[in-house]
Amino acid sequence: MAASGVLEPTALAKHAVDLACDLLGVDGAALYWWVSSTGLLHSLADNRGYQAGASRTLEPGKGVAGLAFQREQPLIIDDYPRWEGAVPWALANGVRAAVGIPLVARGRTVGAMAVLTHAVGGFDADDLRLLSLLAAQVAPSLEAGRLDIDLAASEQRFRSLYGSVASGVLVLSASGVIIQINPAGERIIGLSAEEMRGKTPDQLWHAYAEDGSELKSTDRVGPVVLRSRQPVQGITNKIVLPDGRVRWVLIDAIPVMGPDGQALQVVASFLDITERKQVEEALRESEERFRAVFNRAAVGIARIDLGGQIIEANPALQRMLGYSADELTHNPLATFVHPDYVRDGRLAQLTELAEGTRQELQQELRYVHKLGGLVWCNSIASLVRGPSNEPLFLIVMTEDITARKKQEVALEHLALHDGLTDLPNRTLMFDRLRQAILVSKREHQALALLMMDLDEFKEINDTFGHHGGDEVLRHVATRLKRQLRESDTVARLGGDEFAIILPGVADDAAAGATASRILNALQEPLMIEGEALEVRASIGIVLFPRHAEDADTLLRRGDAAMYEAKRAGTGTAFYTLEHDIDSSGLTLTFELRRAIEENALILHYQPVLRCGTGEVVGVEALVRWPHPRHGLLAPDRFIPLAEQSRLIRPLGRRVLEADVQQQDRWWREGITLRMAVNL
């Protein structure tokens, strides 16, 4: 029996098929029940022993029971073996006749019975009436039993769900008192069911709306649903218990209505969203901090989507590039970058960052200002990922380094150019000479190097002073540039010495013609302090690869040719092998120039003693040259060379600078000695 006192369906069905067999004196019967979820008739009872191995389900329209169910009317088959709907297992077991009776409850067909016999003669009208009467009695009882079991199962499922569901469930009475709360509700609120039952929520906690305002008792979810008799969904409340504990809950509530249309109860389900709210609050605070930095930062900041489009740009970036926020957003960042860094409309390294193949990117870029100018920027880009490590967007921070870049360019220019004439200096000239040699080798072309020295420049300095001499050098530089091609290089090596690189020169004649043209240009009268001055020079010419195949040898042999031109007074001279017969002096002169420029000379200090007492009262500075091949050279080995080659002045300047620095160090250390320097 079921809990309600109704016979359970399987027992009732077994009783029905047994009773049918007894009433009609037949071999077997079966009772099937319709299950809508499967679309089949399921066997509830079957006393046909020979059908034990057959299926426990039956399709509507199949067999005598299935056909009776489908047609919703009784069915007699007097000659079963000849019936087109006969089933093999029944034929195999000698069934001769059959009857099918539909089971009807509450006006709908809920199942069917099948009664089979092996006797010849089958069933008559009385049998059919008897079975129909049995079916009419059994069907309502079966339906009631099934409903009772379904109700019990439903109740069990509800209890199971009520107790195990992750959301809290709270039931309020019509007076607003808590009747029930499930275990999840106890865990979420932090109070036991005993502590809450019989009390109103007002007595247990304070409630606040999402905007932070405290809710009056009449504005809480329970009273609102009871008054309106309408469900509510997605209500967010903050509840604060007396001990200060805080919970954020998301509430859905429905009224339970009575027959008179009044709300008897309120069933509220709620989820604990405290952690989510804390995360949202942390995100809000983080966003506020980011927004404060974003808007007030001195550097440009942009959020870039994974496709390279600007999502937003801060005021500093807008000022830096001259564009408004609307002009920047929704456009590719590559639009505002110099084309040298853009490939297929995108910044390649930024694409790699967006794809996650690199973690961070730092590079110096030139942006294009709205007015057309270039803005040098140091940009640092990083990938922002989501909670599941998925790429979200890029943050690009950009610092304007235009001023620094200009300064670097200016410093680089100063390091590689002569301060007086703005021509390339010896360092840049030497680099260009090596590059020109490489190009000439690759393209199988000749190269000419012209080494030029002004004649009697010392007399010009003595007559007009250094200011006048500097003016002459500036005019010489201007005239030299006018006589040369864009591809040529003219450099000032120091003093009144110049070097000219002529790449791709055709032959000796072309190099000589250029040298002659230069000499003629220099001879045009030059006005210095109201006086006409004619500048003359000597030019030595060497060719690559005929005379030398490396830069050092070309320079050395160019010097030798220049000294030959100066000695012979011919203005120009090509290098010849005869110049190497006694070239040791020229080589040493060349090396001395390098030593002076590279500050390779050293100073020895000889003590000066007071006679009688032996007290050290001063020192005399003596210059020495530690030569890589000849060892430590005394002044008598290189001072005459310096005087002949006009290196004496830069040598003297280097010595004086070193002496003054040494004297300063000694004085700061408390050593006050006089120093003598021979000039």
Q: How far apart are CA 30 and CA 610, in angstroms?
A: 145
pLDDT for 583: 52
pLDDT for 582: 47
pLDDT for 27: 79
Beta bridge partners of 31: 45, 113
Task: Using the structure block, give the residue that is written with the tokens 């999840």.
Answer: 184
Whether 152 and 179 map to the same domain: the answer is no
pLDDT over 90 (residue 284): no
Task: Using the structure block, give the residue that is written with the tokens 């006797």.
Answer: 119
CA 320 to chain centre: 23
Q: Which of 218, 244, 278 is the last residue of a domain?
A: 278
Q: Which of 278, 305, 324 is the last residue of a domain?
A: 278
- 252 catalytic? Reply is no
Whether 105 and 128 map to the same domain: the answer is yes
pLDDT for 55: 62
Which of 23-37, 46-60, 156-170, 336-350 is predicted most confidently? Answer: 23-37
Whether 542 and 519 map to the same domain: the answer is yes
Q: Is residue 401 part of a domain?
A: no
pLDDT band at 2 (very low <50, low <70, confident <90, very high): very low
Whether 568 and 616 map to the same domain: the answer is no
Mean pLDDT along residues 145-153 = 66
pLDDT over 50 (residue 3): no
pLDDT for 355: 83
Residue 404 CA: distances (Å) to CA of 316, 372, 400, 503 = 18, 20, 9, 35
CA 580 to chain centre: 65
pLDDT band at 160 (very low <50, low <70, confident <90, very high): low
pLDDT over 70 (residue 250): yes
Residue pLDDT, tens place only, 567-626: 888 899 999 876 554 455 666 777 888 788 788 888 888 888 888 787 888 888 888 898
pLDDT over 70 (residue 474): yes
Q: Are the beta carbons of 490 and 498 closer than 8 angstroms?
A: yes
Q: How far apart are CA 638 and CA 636, in angstroms?
A: 6
Which of the residues 496, 507, 582, 664 is marked catalytic?
Answer: 496
Task: Using the structure block, give the residue that is written with the tokens 């430590």.
Answer: 632
How many C-beta neighbours within 10 Å does residue 11 have?
14
Whether 429 and 573 map to the same domain: the answer is yes
Mean pLDDT along residues 290-312 = 90
Q: Is residue 403 part of a domain?
A: no
Q: Are the beta carbons of 535 and 476 closer than 8 angstroms?
A: yes
Q: How far apart are CA 89 and CA 73, in angstroms?
A: 24
Structure tokens at 664: 């300063």
Mean pLDDT along residues 394-404 = 91
Strands (E), 305-446: 310-313, 360-368, 374-385, 391-400
| Domain region containing 363 | 297-394
Q: How far apart are CA 64 and CA 493, in angstroms?
A: 120
Question: Residue 36's closest CA among 171, 146, 134?
Answer: 146
Q: Is residue 412 part of a domain?
A: no
Whether 325 and 369 map to the same domain: the answer is yes
Largest CA distance in the chain: 168
Q: Which of 581, 616, 651 is the last residue of a domain?
A: 581
| All residues at 6 or more sequence positions from 312 whose CB lies less than 8 Å from its CB, including other chains | 294, 302, 303, 325, 329
Q: Is residue 410 part of a domain?
A: no
Residue pLDDT, tens place only, 478-496: 999 999 999 999 999 988 8
Residue pLDDT, tens place only, 330-381: 999 989 999 888 876 667 788 888 887 887 888 888 999 999 999 999 999 9
User: Which is more confident, 646 or 264?
Assistant: 264
Q: Are the beta carbons of 249 and 269 closer than 8 angstroms?
A: no
Whether 493 and 609 map to the same domain: the answer is no
Beta bridge partners of 386: none
Q: Is residue 289 part of a domain?
A: no
Q: Give the pairing type, strands 263-272 and 246-257.
A: antiparallel
Task: Using the structure block, give the residue that is written with the tokens 């408390």.
Answer: 670
CATH value at residue 353: 3.30.450.20
Whether 601 and 530 map to the same domain: the answer is no
Q: Is residue 284 part of a domain?
A: no
Mean pLDDT along residues 464-474 = 89
Q: How far apart are CA 427 and CA 434, in angstroms?
A: 11
Q: How far apart are CA 633 and CA 637, in angstroms?
A: 6
CA 325 to chain centre: 22
- Amino acid identity, position 361: L
pTM > 0.75: no
Q: Is residue 120 part of a domain?
A: yes
pLDDT for 159: 62
Residue 454's SS3 state is strand
pLDDT band at 165 (very low <50, low <70, confident <90, very high): low
Q: Is residue 406 part of a domain?
A: no
Low-confidence winner among 93-102, 148-157, 264-273, 396-405 (lowest mean pLDDT):
148-157
Whether 152 and 173 map to the same domain: the answer is no
Structure tokens at 170: 């709270």
CATH value at residue 116: 3.30.450.40
Q: Are the beta carbons of 220 and 244 closer than 8 angstroms?
A: no
Whether 95 and 208 map to the same domain: the answer is no
CATH value at residue 541: 3.30.70.270
Give the count of domains, the chain: 5
pLDDT band at 74 (very low <50, low <70, confident <90, very high): very high
Whether 541 and 626 map to the same domain: the answer is no
Mean pLDDT along residues 645-671 = 85
Average model confidence (pLDDT) for the chain? 87
- DSSP assignment of 533-577: E---EEEEEEEETTT-SSHHHHHHHHHHHHHHHHHHT-SEEE--G
Whether 454 and 572 map to the same domain: the answer is yes
Query: How many percent of the chain have pLDDT more than 90?
Result: 41
pLDDT over 90 (residue 260): no
